[in-house]
Chain A
């Protein structure tokens, strides 16, 4: 019941904002309502932790002889950090809104709250059916939001391509569910069969843009910092939760080394592009790819707790940086604190991130550690840049107090999760890769101003899909599609021409001969 109340609360506050905006557009306390509403929502999610596991069945489809699964939710020790991170992002988006140029913006806030509610539903989904429904809702919300602001054919193509990748992820999750059914039982995330594990991973990879490496996110410029951040991060969280649900025994598959290699390459690519991007908003997709790859690598090493850790670091560190819309040296220093969350050092959120339950993964470690180093260095670089940010001095007095608080909330949550509330808290974890990553990050940072290769690329130079030679893959796919299209057209023409009658006769003969061969 607590789950229902919390999520309804998010939706009701969103509804209140929309109604207020419609009836009284100049109402002065809209932001206050949104802030208080999200504060209560955030506190409610915090209280879930004391009653875990929480279960909630929304509806049982009828007849039960046909519909084997029902829409149900479970908040447990692995989904709670996700839920808490999402609630934190929503709260932070509303708090930091005071410093944005479009303040007040009740409709984007309402959309953020709805997305937050959907994100919470996604991370506590108990079975693939429930998760699919929430994914679909998030995807439809996202595509509508993107298409509304997409100008030009190329941008709309990208939006549709991103949607297609997500739909492919949905298909893969469905397939994982079918594999489970074939093994004798409908799948729930608490008892997923190992045979379905890799399909779950590929489903998450497709939606996150890691497997195969692609950018599922259209141009960032069209989406604003507040709503855009919530859209990106909540959507990513809804996919990342799948990594925490992959049974550790799935890591024993023969495909694991190949998948790990691809994921490691994606991680390095994400980290490299993140470091070299001109500003944090342009770099946002690479942050997601880089850290999501580290989370996927953890899942592939049979470490769902580590996958959760990297995922929450992606959400919390990322939100702190992306929501920081005013430049001030002290704000930058606050942001540096959140770096702790992705170091993997003991008693930090990602302390369990480098844990491994498989032995045959040594060959990817250098790449993964390098990716972490690049992400660390890039984070520090982006947090100190003033481009795309307004001057803190120009903010009014209230905003000067509230905005830093909004930035501090995700960072505080990040630190809190290192010590309390879930399976990965208060852990030391493997220290060596973390230390190497931090040291390498320092070296990259030192080299950055000295070597031209580290110079940020201009936005128009960014052709992410071409990097690492992934272009050939998509060109190949396109060629295959064109070939199949021509074949299909030829077949259609043959069947629809006058000669099509002959095919019909052939079919009839075949049909009769086949049936008469069998016994009834």
Chain B
């Protein structure tokens, strides 16, 4: 038994078989339980450590070899696997409300296994190819078979695909930098190409324009899943580069680029969010802002940067999940999610509306909600370095909050005499209610995931040490 078999091959194979299952309830249940089981195993069984059960000895080997390439999951990856599959389980269980289990469960598990494989593969350059395969698998997830692809989907595919060759070329050049560290030109060129690759993969400004376009075209829940999984794993993949190359870690220009790139992402997404009139596009801009927060985190001193990046994962995931669930509920009832269509809906769908607003507020860093503790700590980190950067951060946050408040104003603006008529199924209310409570718990006690998140920096040998 090996770790890649458990956390990469089994979910992948299950994903393929799940394509044959048509019953949505069975699918969501089996998929959710599998993901939960994988998370549970990651918590209780350490990788590469022998466990004795009476006469029986159990050890999960860290690596397997496939087609001459190795997939390696080291013991320090355990907490990441637990968090990742725990969150995948939440997404898959949530699919019960969305009627998209038949696509989300099989393709979601396949994409998840590929993303984990991208972190585990050696040589690590093959990660770019695995991410590209995941992008290709995302297409049928986002686009039902009988529909014509829109411009957002096309741009998603093009931009993500463009990222792959840049990463591959950068990897090849970086190997050259390793062998001749004095060649400054080569270092600059390779860093530039690498930066371009990640600019495409992470959808940096203005390459993120496909996000709001795609959000308008696809099912909110499935798009939420993609918006969550892709940047999260890509950032961890990017951390691998920083861990591997000391000169890259030590580069002041890179810190500056991350800082400027991050603040541009936060500010532009905030400003666009403030003027947006489409609920799905609001979510897309929030995802852009989240990527900006991660870049800003990486621009801080390395020992803090790595902690910030991992602390951002759970609040972001939870907020996106609540957001996507709530949007899906509204989408199923009104179709188009333009402001003009959703005016006054809070009186019919109070839980979905509350979920939507609170998730938005959480991303914007409103106190008491999951996003707040990390946002304020990140902001303090920036303020300690430069008050100017802290000010621009404030502008970005202000934009996101304006977006949330405008959405609130639209959702509660019912015509005179409209009463409260609850039209939400109780399952929706319960699931969104629990998710919202989790947002509050994480906002007041952010340390509850500390046992898992605290060990994540150990995944990297050098970065943050």
Residues of A within 8 A of B (CB): 59, 61-63, 65-68, 129, 132-133, 135-137, 140, 147-148, 150-153, 156-157, 159-160, 163-164, 167, 170-171, 174-175, 177-179, 181-182, 186, 484-485, 488-489, 492, 495-496, 500, 503-504, 507-508, 511-512, 515-516, 518-520
Contact = CB atoms under 8 A, between A and B. Distances in A.
Contacts of A177: 376, 380
Contacts of B307: 63, 65-66
Contacts of A147: 346, 412
A153 B416 CA distance: 6
Contact of B384 (A148, A160, A181): A181
A422 to B, nearest CB: 29
Given A512-B192, A515-B253, A178 B383 contact: yes
Nearest to B381: A66
Contact of B308 (A66, A156, A492, A516): A66
A151 B151 contact: no
Interface string B186-230: 011101100110010000011101001100000000000000000
Contacts of B376: 129, 174, 177
B463 to A, nearest CB: 16
Interface of B: 151, 184, 187-189, 191-192, 195-196, 199, 205-207, 209, 212-213, 247-248, 251, 253-254, 256-257, 271-272, 274-275, 303-304, 307-308, 311, 346, 366-368, 373, 376-377, 379-381, 383-384, 386-387, 390, 394, 397-398, 401, 405, 408-409, 412-418, 420, 444-447, 450, 454
A188 to B, nearest CB: 14
A125 to B, nearest CB: 12
A175 B398 CA distance: 11
Contact of A520 (B188, B205, B373): B188
B202 to A, nearest CB: 13
A62 B454 contact: yes
Contacts of A179: 383, 387
Contacts of B409: 156-157, 160
Contacts of B196: 508, 511-512
A177 B394 CA distance: 12
A65 B368 contact: no
A488 B444 contact: no
Contacts of A496: 151, 209, 212-213
A120 to B, nearest CB: 17
A516 B190 CA distance: 10
Given A66-B308, A67-B377, A175-B394, 15 more contacts: A59-B447, A62-B446, A62-B450, A65-B307, A132-B367, A152-B416, A160-B408, A171-B401, A175-B390, A178-B380, A182-B390, A489-B275, A516-B192, A520-B247, A520-B253
A488 B270 CA distance: 11
B275 to A, nearest CB: 4
A171 B415 contact: no
A205 to B, nearest CB: 17
B416 A151 contact: yes
A186 B380 contact: yes
A153 B446 CA distance: 37
Most chain A Cβ neighbours within 10 Å, of B196, B209, B401: B209
A163 B405 contact: yes
A500 B257 contact: no
A176 to B, nearest CB: 11
Contacts of A175: 390, 394
A508 B199 CA distance: 9
Contacts of A516: 188-189, 192
Nearest to B311: A66
